[in-house]
Structure 1
Amino acid sequence: MMYLTPSLMCADWCNIGAVVAELEQSGVDGFHVDIMDGVFVDNFALGMQDIMALKQLTQKPLDIHLMLQNPQKYIAQFAEAGADIIYVHPESSHYIIRTLQQIRTFGVKSGIAINPETTVSEIVDYLEYADLVMVMTVTPGFSGGTYLDFTERKVAQLTKHKAELGLTLEIFVDGALSEERVQRLHDFGASGFVLGTSALFGKSESYLEIITRMKANG
């Protein structure tokens, strides 16, 4: 199965209600929300009020990507705002295992986000505390980043570790994902994909046409 979740950082926020409704009707599986503090990454994006507003617009799961320094300080607030999945970066906290455990105490799925510069070997010991791992194929912080081909190897490596360790975690990918890249990464073992301008937004086809085709190919 292929889990497709649009990155709402790429959406038209002047018309977000209509965009969310159209995406829901197209068959997306959830919505991806990037939270940036201008410290962990050099940009600001979205916030608590945006999550609360989205929770009123959709019943689909919200996966929240925290690009924040010391995210453990804010887990309770994001969980209460309506997060269904929370991703954190291992570099963002000295207590990443405790943070992953904390996420789960709220009944929220815990996720590890891996920067391009982070190797799989650096996070293997954390995998048993995560429900998902998300491989970043671009440098995080801005939409429209350059796709880094070498990151594809991480998906294959994670698939191998998942099998060897007997883990149930899901492998997701985020960053400049065209339809062709989604298909290739799915073959490597990824099951979830964050879609932005490379595959979904700003295209001549409708969301329904794109999502239907991608799921049929998956």
Structure 2
Amino acid sequence: MKAFVSLWSADPLDIGGDIDRVAGHADGFHIDVTDGHLTPQLLFGPDFVAAVRKRTELAIEVHLMVTNADVWIGPFLEAGADIVTVHRRSTRDLPATLARVADGGATPGLAVETHEPVGDVSALAGAFDRLLLMGTEIGVKGVEVDPLVYGRIGEGRRAAGGHGRLRPLRGRRDQAAHGRAHGGGGRRRRDPRQPRLRRPRPRRPSVLAARPPLSRVPAVRSGLRPSRGSRGGCRGSPPAARAVRR
């Protein structure tokens, strides 16, 4: 299992502290990005991702829930995103959008919403390295997970190209070993004197089931301080983990 902690439920006034408190237990951080059009929420921009990048060396996944993903891929790569996940309805040319993420040195991810068929992703096998199966309507927080999502995991794995799994780069240290390190927080550029690194094909994506951010996590287990007036919750409670079965 790998856990990517969503920062949507972090304490807005102590996000750095919340990152530090869970960094020893997480494999990365999941940052939802919304534009108020594809979803009713407004969440997080490149400056926020750049600040998180300075705070942690763990992998950062940017989940673009926006109407025009192509506009935002460059800025978020510049900010330090390791994984960029897009939706089918966020772009007119999905293969080209996924290729743009890969060409920028990040891991391309594809999100499948609860109302979308999972089997259709087989036509895109090899274009993405990460499949995110949504467990709720996008841009919604604090609701129960659709129980059907768990049965969709096996279907998604088969449609994505088999039962194997890709080992995504965990963070800046691992990326440096693979020639994909961030240069001082800036955009990753290939040294023209070095040969171009190519990914082996076919790729077999990791499949994730997304859960909504948790609002009630015991303070004893999370290590976070209970907030005043909360109902058994805790201030800055760690949000939902994106789990990958290994």
* Smaller-chain TM-score bracket: 0.7 to 0.9
Larger radius of gyration: 2
Taking the aligned partners of 1:36 and 1:69, their CA distance within structure 2 comes to 9
Where 1:149 maps in the other structure, the secondary structure is coil
Superposed CA offset, 1:64-101 (max 9, x none): 00000110111111101000000000111111110000
Q: Decide which of 120, 128, 136 is 1:130's aligned counterpart.
A: 128
For 2:87, give the aligned amino acid.
H
Query: Equivalent pairs: percent with the same residue?
Result: 23
Pairs within 5 Å for 1:98-137: 98-137=96-135
Q: Which residue of 1 aligns with 2:3?
A: 4
1:49 to partner: Cα distance: 1.2
What does the per-residue CA deviation read over 1:83-134, in whole Å, with 9 as the maximum and x for residues that have no partner?
0000000111111110000000111000001110111123221231001000
1:188 counterpart residue number: none
**Equivalent position SS for 2:220:** coil
Q: Which residue of 1 aligns with 2:155?
A: 157
Q: Structure 1 residue 171 and structure 2 residue 186: aligned? A: no
Separation in structure 2 between the aligned mates of residue 44 and residue 62 of structure 1, nearest angstrom: 19
1:43 maps to 41
Aligned position for 2:32: 34
Structure 1 contact 63–85 (Cα < 8 Å) conserved: yes
Letter of the aligned partner of 2:94 in structure 1? I
Give the structure 1 partner of residue 218 of structure 2.
203
Mapped to 1, the partners of 2:88 and 2:221 lie a distance apart of 37
Letter in 1 for 2:34: M
Secondary structure of the structure 2 residue equivalent to 1:140: coil
**In 2: Cα distance, 1:175 partner to 1:132 partner:** 16
Paired residue type of 1:7 = S
Q: Pick 1 or 2: higher relative contact order, CA cutoff 8 A, min separation 6.
A: 2
* Structure 2 CA distance for aligned equivalents of residues 164 and 63 of structure 1: 22
CA distance in 2: counterparts of 1:64 and 1:101, whole angstroms = 16
The offset of 1:160, in angstroms, is 2.3
Where is the helix percentage greater, Structure 1 or Structure 2? 1
Alignment partner of 1:59 is 2:57: yes
2:119/2:156 contact within 8 Å kept: no
Amino acid at match of 1:206: R
Q: Deviations over 1:134-187 (max 9, x none)?
A: 0001111022122111222221102223328964210111124xxxxxxxxxxx
Contact 2:149 2:209 in 1 (8 A): no
Q: Which residue of 2 aligns with 1:186?
A: none
Q: Over aligned residues, Cα RMSD in angstroms?
A: 2.5
Partners of 1:50 and 1:123 lie apart in 2 by 31
1:17-43 CA distances to partner (integer Å, 9 max, x unpaired)?
Answer: 111111113x21000000000111111
Q: What is the distance in 1 between the residues matched to 2:162 and 2:69?
A: 29
Q: Which runs of 4+ in 1 moved over 6 A?
A: none
Q: Which runs of 5+ in 2 are unaligned?
A: 165-201, 224-237
Secondary structure, counterpart of 1:59 in structure 2: coil
